[in-house]
Amino acid sequence: GLFWPDAVFGTSNPEWWRVLEHAGWVGFEVVVLILATQRTRREMMLLAERDALFEQTHASVEQQVELRTRELGESLDRYRALVENTNTIPWELDLSTGQFVYIAPQAARFFGLSAQELHTARLEELIHPDDRARVRTYVTAAVAGQGGDGDALYYRMITGDRRLIHVRTTLSPHTPGAPLRGITFDVSKQTKLEAELRQAQKLESVGKLAAGIAH
Give per-residue pLDDT as tens, 82-105: 666 566 788 888 888 878 888 887
> What pLDDT is recorded for position 29?
94
Bridge partners (DSSP) listed for residue 168: 154, 185
> What pLDDT is recorded for position 28?
94
- CA–centroid distance for 127 within its chain: 31
Average pLDDT, the chain: 82
> What pLDDT is recorded for position 38?
95
Residue 81 pLDDT > 90: no
> What pLDDT is recorded for position 150?
59
pLDDT interval class at 210 (50, 70, 90): confident
> What pLDDT is recorded for position 45?
94
Q: Identity (one letter) of the amino acid at 213? A: I
Residue 148 pLDDT > 60: no
Residue 207 CA to residue 214 CA, distance in Å, equals 10
Distant-in-sequence contacts of 43-50, Cβ < 8 A, 24+ apart: none
Span 152-159, mean pLDDT? 87
DSSP assigned state of 173: P
Given a contact cutoff of 8 angstroms between Cβ atoms, the answer to whether 147 and 141 are in contact is yes
pLDDT interval class at 46 (50, 70, 90): very high
Given a contact cutoff of 8 angstroms between Cβ atoms, the answer to whether 185 and 168 are in contact is yes
Residue 178 backbone class (left: φ over 0; alpha: ψ -120 to 50; beta: rest): beta
> What pLDDT is recorded for position 47?
93
> What pLDDT is recorded for position 80?
64
Q: What percentage of the chain has pLDDT greater than the value 70? A: 93
Q: Which residues of 149-181 are buried (b: 16+ CB within 10 A; e: fewer)?
A: eeebbebbbbeeeeeebbbebbbeebeeeebbb
